[in-house]
């Protein structure tokens, strides 16, 4: 029996060169959402921030690059890694949330689509290569992977380029301490339909959405500073609500995906989870294993790069995956036939996951 598998054949990422350490925020005056000043010294605020999130530095893009530029750099790396002709790509699926935001501006630019801009930068002439964007919160890249798999399995595509890229540094409120969590970056993969005698590549997936009170957990809102223009909007979040939501919902979505695959949990080698918050991610993975009455050492199963790269939204998962494959994450390797779970949660609120056999 022959299986048509959706297999990742190439990976690439772009990590901005500008390093922003926590010390940069030590003298910053922060305000609460009600415009009241946070009295704690900046050093104490940044110390508590690192204790909770694990982040001690992040990457912000230089002023000469936009989101579409980073996406194209990551895409070129993935294309080269796969060793393919870019003219043979059937779809460019681009996950982001804010499009191109020119340095010094807060305005989102998504006309034309970022995927179309990437196709233009790559110089692809093939008119049947269809570029389109996904705005799905932080889980956008995983949703792009699920869509690519669907098109491949239906016979409507043979080869897809799936990208996650974001410049969150250009939509943050510098007077909000949540600014410190956000970063920039891009990750990309080539996904191909490949026939073989065994099932490999993407094995199963799951996705969920809760949009009652949860829809407003991440939003655009005015600056926390009373001196700033109230008509200008910045990325905002209700961190406590997101934490509680993620811990209760994400493990369930991961279990749905794993159970659909028929793979026993003991065979899972790595969980590639959205790098949102170190403590939160550890708690999610622990709760996931608790659903199977198992305890696990998260350090061995859950590679992380949030400590130095921060939360770059849709870029965190593909960037982490590429870095592991390239030997850039200490004490973590991915080998042929390893079972991986990819998972994410974000604005919407949306959750998704897929099980993958390397």
* Average model confidence (pLDDT) across the chain: 95
Element (H, E) at 216: none
Q: Closest Cα partner for 93 from 71, 69, 66?
A: 71
Residue 83: domain span: 3-196
Q: Which residue has the tokens 């996406």?
A: 71
Instruction: With a cut of 90, say whether residue 43 has pLDDT above it.
Output: no
**Is the domain of 217 the same as that of 267?**
yes
pLDDT at 42: 75
Which strands make up the sheet holding 3-14, listed edge to edge? 3-14, 184-196, 159-167, 91-95, 130-134
Neighbours of 354 (CB within 10 A): 28
244 and 106 within one domain: no
Q: What are the φ and ψ backbone dihedral angles of 108, each rounded to 5 degrees?
A: -80, 135
340 in the same domain as 288:
yes
Kindly report the backbone phi and psi dihedral angles of residue 346, in degrees, each rounded to the nearest multiple of 5, phi listed first.
180, -170
Nearest to 276 by CA among 342, 181, 340: 181
CATH number at residue 342: 3.40.47.10
Q: Which of 196, 224, 256 is the last residue of a domain?
A: 196
Q: What is the Cα–Cα distance from 346 to 166, expressed in whole angstroms?
A: 14
3-state class (DSSP) for residue 50: helix
pLDDT of residue 40: 80
Three-state DSSP class for 133?
strand
pLDDT at residue 41, as a whole number: 78
Least Cα distance to 344 among 320, 309, 308 occurs for 320
Distance CA 249, CA 210 (A): 10
Task: Let me know whether 208 and 172 are in one domain.
Answer: no
pLDDT per residue as tens digits for the range 200-255: 999 999 999 999 999 999 999 999 999 998 888 999 999 999 999 999 999 999 99
pLDDT, residue 112, reads 96
In percent, the amount of the chain with pLDDT more than 70 equals 100
Count of structural domains, the chain: 2
Residue 208 and residue 181 share a domain: no
Token pair, residue 342, equals 């990819």
Percentage of the chain surpassing pLDDT 90?
89
- pLDDT for residue 190 is more than 90: yes
44-97 confidence digits (pLDDT tens): 888 889 999 999 999 999 999 999 999 999 999 999 999 999 999 999 999 999
Residues 164 and 310 in one domain: no
pLDDT tier, 318 (very low <50, low <70, confident <90, very high otherwise): very high
- Closest C-alpha to 280, from 97, 79, 54: 54
Whether 227 and 140 share a structural domain: no
CA 12/CA 323 separation, integer angstroms = 8
- Please tell me the predicted confidence (pLDDT) of residue 214: 95
| pLDDT bracket for residue 106 (50, 70, 90) | confident
Of residues 108, 95, 15, 42, the one with CA closest to residue 322: 15
Using N-to-C axis directions, what is the helix angle for 278-290 and 239-261, rounded to 10°? Answer: 40
The answer to whether the beta carbons of residues 343 and 251 sit under 8 Å apart is: no
Chosen domain end from 161, 196, 231? 196
Please list the alpha-helical segments (H only) found in the chain. 42-53, 67-82, 114-122, 140-154, 239-261, 278-290, 298-301, 306-309, 316-325
Shared domain for 40 and 64, answered yes or no, is: yes
Work out the pLDDT band at 117, boundaries 50, 70, 90: very high
Rounded to the nearest 5 degrees, what angle is found at the Cα of 240, between the Cα atoms of 237 and 243? 95
Tell whether 143 and 256 lie within a shared domain: no
7 shares its domain with 141:
yes
The per-residue pLDDT for range 14-39, each reduced to its tens digit, is 999 999 999 999 888 899 999 999 88
Q: What is the pLDDT of residue 275?
A: 96
Q: What is the pLDDT of residues 149-189, one digit of tens each?
A: 999 999 999 999 999 999 999 999 999 998 899 999 999 99
Same domain, 118 and 34: yes
pLDDT of residue 250: 98
The residue among 173, 196, 219 that closes a domain is: 196
Which two structure tokens, joined as six digits, stand for 265? 């949990």
| pTM, rounded to two decimals | 0.96
Residue that is written with structure tokens 């961190």 in the block:
239
* The pLDDT value given to residue 104: 79
Helix, strand or coil, per DSSP, at residue 62: coil
Q: How far apart are CA 74 and CA 119, in angstroms?
A: 13
pLDDT for res 207: 96
**Residue 215 and residue 104 share a domain:** no
- What is the phi/psi pair of residue 314, to 5°? -60, -15
What gap in Å lies between CA 91 and CA 93, rounded to an integer? 6
């Amino acid at each position: 029996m022959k299986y048509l598998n959706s297999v990742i054949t190439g990976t690439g990422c772009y990590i901005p060169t500008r390093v922003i350490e926590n010390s940069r925020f030590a003298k910053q005056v922060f305000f609460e959402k009600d415009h009241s000043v946070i009295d704690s010294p900046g050093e104490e605020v940044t110390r508590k921030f690192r204790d909770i999130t694990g982040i001690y530095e992040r990457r912000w893009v230089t002023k000469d690059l936009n989101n579409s530029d980073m996406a194209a750099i990551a895409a070129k790396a993935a294309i080269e890694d796969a060793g393919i002709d870019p003219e043979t790509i059937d779809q460019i699926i681009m996950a982001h949330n804010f499009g191109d935001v020119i340095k010094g501006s807060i305005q989102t630019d998504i006309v034309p689509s970022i995927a179309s801009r990437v196709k233009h930068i790559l110089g692809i002439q093939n008119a049947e290569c269809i570029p389109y964007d996904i705005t799905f919160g932080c889980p956008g890249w995983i949703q792009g992977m699920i869509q690519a798999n669907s098109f491949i399995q239906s016979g409507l595509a043979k080869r897809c380029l799936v990208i996650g890229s974001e410049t969150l540094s250009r939509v943050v409120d510098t007077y909000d301490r949540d600014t410190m969590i956000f970063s920039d970056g891009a990750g990309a993969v080539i996904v191909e339909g490949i026939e073989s005698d065994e099932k490999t590549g993407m094995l199963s997936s799951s996705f969920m959405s809760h949009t009652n009170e949860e829809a407003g957990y991440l939003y655009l809102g005015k600056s926390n500073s009373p001196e700033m223009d109230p008509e200008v909007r910045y990325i905002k979040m209700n961190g406590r609500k997101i934490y509680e939501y993620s811990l209760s919902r994400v493990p369930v979505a991961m279990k749905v995906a794993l159970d659909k695959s028929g793979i026993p949990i003991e065979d899972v080698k790595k969980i590639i989870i959205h790098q949102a918050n170190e403590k939160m991610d550890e708690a999610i993975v622990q709760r996931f294993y608790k659903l199977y009455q198992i305890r696990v050492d998260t350090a061995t199963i859950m590679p992380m790069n949030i400590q130095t790269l921060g939360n770059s939204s849709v870029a965190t998962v593909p960037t982490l995956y590429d870095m592991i494959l390239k030997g850039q994450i200490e004490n973590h390797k991915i080998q042929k036939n390893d079972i991986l779970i990819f998972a994410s949660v974000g604005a919407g609120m949306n959750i998704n996951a897929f099980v993958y056999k390397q």
